[in-house]
Amino acid sequence: MKDGHTTLDEYGQDLDQLAEGDRVGVMRTSNGVLHMYVNGVDQGAASTNIPSKVWAVVDMYGKCAQVTIVDDTNREVAAISNELVSESMALASNELTNDKLVFHDRHGTLIKLSSNRRVAERRRPLDEFNNGVVMTNRPLRDNELFEIRLERLVDKWSGSIEVGITTHNPNILDFPATMTNMRSGTIMMSGSGILTNGKGTRRQYGDFNLDELQEGDKIGLIRKANGTLHYYINDIDQGVAATKVPQTVWGVVDLYGMAVKVTVLEGLSQSSQDDNLVNRMTSLFRHPRTFDNEIAHGENVISLSSIDRLQFHTRCGIHATVINNQRTAHRPNAFDDFNNAVVVTQRILRPGEMFEVVIDKMVDKWAGSIEIGVTTHSPVELEFPSTMTNVRSGTWMMTGNGVMRNGTTILEEYGQNLDRLKAGDHVGVLRKDDGVLHFFVNGIDQGPAASNVPANIYGVIDLYGQAAQATIVDPTTDFGNFGLSDIDFGSDELRFHPRHGQNAIISADGKTASRPSARGEFNDAIVMSNRPLADHELFEVCIDKMVERWSGSIEAGVTLVSPEDIDFPSTMTDIAFDTWLLSGSSVMQDGSTIRNGYRLDLDSLRVGSRVGMMRCSDETLHYYLDGVDQGVACSDVPPGLYAVIDLYGQCAQVTITSGQQNSISHSNNVILTEPEPTLVSPSCSEMTHRFSRCAGKNIEIRNGGTTACRVRSYDQALVFSCDPIKAEEIFEVRVDSISNKWAGSLQVGLTTLAISDSTSFAILPSQATDLKAKATWVVTGSEVQKNGGVVKENYGPSLDRLSLGSRIGVKRSADGNMHLLVNGEDVGVAANNIPKNVFAIIDLYGRIDGVSITSNISADLIGSSVVTSVAMPLETASQVQLLSDEELRFTSEFHDNCGKNISCKNDNQTAERISSYNQGLVFSAKPLPQNHLFQVKIDRINSKWTSSLVIGVVGFSPEKWTPPSSALNIKKPSWLFHADSVYDCGTKVKGNCGINLDALTVGQMVGVKIDQYSMLHLVVDGEDRGAVFRDLPSICYAIVDLYGQCEQVTLMSLDRDVAADFPIPSTEDREKADKEDGQKEKLNLRQSNPNPTILPNCEILNVCSRFKAMLGLPEAFFTSEVSSCYCENCSKIRGDNLYSRKGEPPKDYALPFGWCKFNLRMPLKTDGQGVHDKWHIGFHGTKPGFIRRLLDSGDLLTSSKSLVGGVTSRPLSGHFDEKNKPEELLDIHPIVLSPTLRYAGCQAFAPAIEFRDQKTRKLYHMRVAIQVYIKPGSYKIGPQSTGTNDQFDPKFSNNEVEWSTKERGATTLCALLIKAE
């Protein structure tokens, strides 16, 4: 501080941390620079221009109670003082009396010097990127190396360190913001080029780009005696950078952009004999051929015997000693001290040289154990820390089972845990030629740990905790193929090839492939077979290990490319030629999908599953699951294929199964043509029917499609057979559960409505008897109905009397009659003239809320069509299905990564905000499966705050992501519910949604669910509020923001097999049997639903959406927001007002009642023009055929030569008189708009056209219009011009219902409106 004001924010050691016995001093140098000292160590220049006569002052403040002046004859301080004075005098007189290169005490304004001016650091690196110039304390001598090491980088800025020379004396230089601004006497290397006096003289210099260097890399320069300038990157000469360099130059470093901190390394004269020796030996180690050539020519080569064996350096941590000819390091007082025992090798490791130690002695007193790694720090220069993981530059360490770089964990789970090693175990580290670092435990490669590791590194161990002594092991192995040298990869037995992706390793005699760092890396782990597969030879692997951190899993296939010729990509799907593979359930060829929905889904496999592939002689490729053929995946596959396995995502390890399982005889019953199914043995001649995944919205399909449960209410529970019913085929179900609180019962029949798993449930009515779009025959009670009309009364026993365990079936006989079967007994003909290709339909209505399929597909029927079920014995199939269902069960819990004010407890089932009102974000621990309800219960509310809980989903993993203060601040993919509004990526897209989350109280539950159509639903107290967002990504995590009043929530687990978590409906809702007639029933049902859906599944909206699709408009014109329906039912549910106001000054407009609204993307410039807030709302009617032209132009105004909508300010000629005559048209037709669609959407402006809906076959009359923003003052208000006297809208007089404008740019299209009549 100076005169009470801070001049340096960060300087030297913190005086508040000093203890008794510490010494602190102050000194003014002869050139007026103030230096502070702590325990005799200079903390650097604190201030300049200090007057000559100053008194020392000490403030015994706070904890400091007594001090004593140290004798000013103290040798250490005197020596430092003399050195500084001599240096100052030498610099002033330009005498080079100081041989040690350090940084000058004058520097850029943001520079802080430390460690006797050997270290320079730019302060506030995240706020400032320049003003970081430092220079040497004296000019450089000829052939003198000025070298620095990069200690710290930040990722915020572009550009990085710049290094060079200048003729400007630092004593008088006015330091610039960046050295490239100097216009004289300066040469700088910037990026990969050379700048002279600020101008580029060489665009590309050397082999390195300074902007791409990493922490620990070294940069040096030399001005040679002949006047040439050379740069050295990591000791490699980059050649001549400049010639005719002046003799008196200072070294200069610009800590620019990403570069924050550097250290001056010991400079050596190139003429020094020692330097020649070091450089020569390094060159020999890097280029062994040079060494051999020199021996061959009889040149005088230094003997390697003295340096062949790797040794520890005698300089080490204070609690360690080096013994046994520097081969052993130990911690003598291992029972008293657990740290400060870092030991480094005496020389750098040679290329491909392993540094390996054996643990000699351990103690069991401490936690933790040996840590091993590499560092760029020389043992001579290193200030030994208490533990090596505290070093913040140039260091890579394996600790426990993780890997750290510069003190930061880069792999959380990697290889074997070093803390579990015992005496006698070996641990090693090896840098390969490609710069990838590998660790070894007992000779086993643990896989890649880090990449881009520089070449000049020292081995280092930390005898931490239990590890008390270790000895260097002499390397005797060719580490290029470590662990694989004894494997005969040329044998006929199938193994994995030794060439593979960089994150994979091969072990167990070539039979096992694994991705050791499975939690740190998810790709780059492709492995291949050691030879091509023969026809009908099965290549099969068993999944040994999986991790749940990633999405996706194993990928398997075949390729014509041999392992020797392939350049392994990061993932198998990137192979773009001669490759066929299965990814998930998609079959791909050369990187492109050729088939979806294959029977085998690799993403659903689990540990223990066996997956195989086989090319057959008919050129088809088959996949196998647990030995069962899944059918033809693709055809026209050539011979000579290698098997390929991609250990991707969740799959971490596989093993080739024994040879006994690796061949399948061609005589087996394998059908090799795609349309025909796989035949099965007589023991498995039947397979169970299954339900289609298309079902009513209150239905959950379970147990592989064999069980259907109604989870709420009494209707919306239709289910169908997944395939059409063949002649004489019985589709039968068993009643599993009954709820006596409802009236009515199960309905069963046949329908011609074509159903598939991908069919939208939106087309389904609430009851089977309401299905009238396609011919449908249903038995309800004792009646038979067709399309809702009774065709037969008193038919058989009433279905209202079904009890638990009853079986009910339906079949179509060969003569075209429908038969009903009750408990296996045929009741007789229910209806006749039933067409072929009908589906069974079951309505779980009223009392019956759960059924299971009991019927099977017989063998003769299997032969007649392709069956989607996997061919296997029934016992095996049921067992596999049960295991799969258990495996896929989603366990809800909160993610460990959460807001800083969140405390998770109760096994991460409860989240509590412990302070403030924000920083309360929590996420689901895993991605949400489809149709899984993620639901929380509010435990505690604090009325001290305003607003409350936010809930939704995010389209990214919260792992290693720093949550913001509020969910609404998330700008990445996110879809959120807050108060009564919905938000997309932090932007509000809709308000007044009918339910206000701020009004929820303690005990209420709120949740989110993504359905099978990738639509997001909001669920409040068990009531589905409907789909709000569409087209969500496949991987989404739930998010809850405990904001404002909401302080604690608890997860409510929803068992997939039990629907008891849903609240019991109210009395009005469930007592359907007490209703007197349909009208009363509808009224009461409406009253029992106080919180209606935000966007109900509306038939009008569906029709308008299909009409919009028929228009062929590109989706790029529209936003991702959910469409809005303003039909009578939807408007009443939302409680919409009839009119609203918008703009400055506010102007009334009518909401588009009776229309459906599809929001358009608006130009970005509208944000700056205040269009959303200041402009008025109007409507423009037109013809459907002109919509595309309007959207293409983005403007309603056109010239008279281009007809737009055929609607101008004169829809009908002859309706103007002399008093009401519009302007002359000239070349621009005025555009007619209106504040109400009752006028703009009438026949004169928006003529109706006929449209037959292909789903419902109903005939509709469709109208279209455009909703626009219109600039205030740009339009004229006038009377209606249609010639009618009837008032169009009670809010607006006929004299002001028509707006017209001729001003270009005065309108912005904001929504397409469609009306179905």
Give yes or no for residue 302 having a pLDDT over 70. no
Report CA 489 to chain centroid distance, whole Å.
38
Mean pLDDT of all residues belonging to the chain = 80
The per-residue pLDDT for 658 is 55
Q: Per mean pLDDT, which range of 346-360, 928-942, 1083-1097 is the poorest?
A: 1083-1097
> pLDDT (tens digit, 9 = 90+) per residue, 74-89?
434 433 444 443 344 4
The conformation of residue 766, written as its DSSP 8-state character, comes to S
Give yes or no for residue 132 having a pLDDT over 90. yes
Q: Are the C-beta atoms of residues 709 and 702 closer than 8 Å to each other?
A: yes
Tell me the C-alpha to C-alpha distance, in Å, between residue 414 and each of 507, 520, 666.
16, 8, 44
> pLDDT (tens digit, 9 = 90+) per residue, 985-1030?
888 887 877 788 999 999 999 999 988 778 888 899 888 887 788 7
Which one has a higher pLDDT value, 860 or 158?
A: 158
Give yes or no for residue 459 having a pLDDT over 70. yes
Does the pTM exceed 0.85?
no
Which one has a higher pLDDT value, 596 or 545?
A: 545
Residue type, 41: V
> pLDDT (tens digit, 9 = 90+) per residue, 1097-1119?
688 888 998 898 888 788 778 88
Residue type, 780: T
Among the listed residues 1020, 1034, 913, 1031, the one whose alpha carbon sits nearest the alpha carbon of residue 977: 1020
The per-residue pLDDT for 1062 is 35
- What does 1001-1047 look like in DSSP terms, one character per residue? -TT-EEEEEE-TTS-EEEEETTEEEEEEE-S--S--EEEEE--TTEE
From CA 1131, how far away is CA 883, in angstroms rounded?
47
> pLDDT (tens digit, 9 = 90+) per residue, 1030-1050?
777 878 999 999 999 999 999
From CA 627, how far away is CA 540, in angstroms rounded?
9
Q: Are the C-beta atoms of residues 1282 and 1314 closer than 8 Å to each other?
A: no
Tell me what percent of the residues of the chain surpass a pLDDT of 90.
Answer: 35
Among the listed residues 75, 76, 99, the one whose alpha carbon sits nearest the alpha carbon of residue 86: 99
The per-residue pLDDT for 857 is 67
Give yes or no for residue 1200 having a pLDDT over 70. no
From CA 103, how far away is CA 135, in angstroms rounded?
6
Tell me what percent of the residues of the chain surpass a pLDDT of 70.
Answer: 82
Which one has a higher pLDDT value, 24 or 889?
A: 24
Which of the four pLDDT bands, split at 50, 70 and 90, describes residue 885? Answer: very low
Give yes or no for residue 37 having a pLDDT over 70. yes
Angle 273-286/288-296 helices, nearest 10 degrees?
110
> pLDDT (tens digit, 9 = 90+) per residue, 4-32?
888 887 788 889 888 888 899 999 998 89
Give me the mean pLDDT over the 1261-1279 stretch.
92
From CA 1192, how far away is CA 1198, in angstroms rounded?
12
Give me the mean pLDDT over the 480-501 stretch.
62
> What are the structure tokens assigned to 24, written together?
């602190």
The per-residue pLDDT for 308 is 63
Q: Are the C-beta atoms of residues 43 and 12 closer than 8 Å to each other?
A: yes
Q: Per mean pLDDT, which range of 728-737, 936-945, 1073-1082 is the poorest?
A: 1073-1082
The per-residue pLDDT for 54 is 93
Give yes or no for residue 761 having a pLDDT over 80. no
From CA 33, how far away is CA 11, in angstroms rounded?
15
Separate counts of helices (H) and strands (E) for the chain: 13, 81
The per-residue pLDDT for 891 is 62
The per-residue pLDDT for 75 is 39
The per-residue pLDDT for 475 is 65
> pLDDT (tens digit, 9 = 90+) per residue, 699-718?
888 877 888 999 888 888 99
Among the listed residues 1218, 1209, 1235, 1217, the one whose alpha carbon sits nearest the alpha carbon of residue 1296: 1235
The per-residue pLDDT for 516 is 82
Say what the alpha-carbon torsion angle 1226, 1228, 1234, 1240 is, to the nearest 10 degrees: 100
CB-based burial of residue 61 (10 Å sphere; 0-12 exposed, 13-18 middle, 19+ buried)? exposed
> pLDDT (tens digit, 9 = 90+) per residue, 304-355?
334 468 999 999 999 999 988 889 998 988 888 899 999 999 999 988 899 9
The per-residue pLDDT for 1060 is 34
Residue type, 1110: M
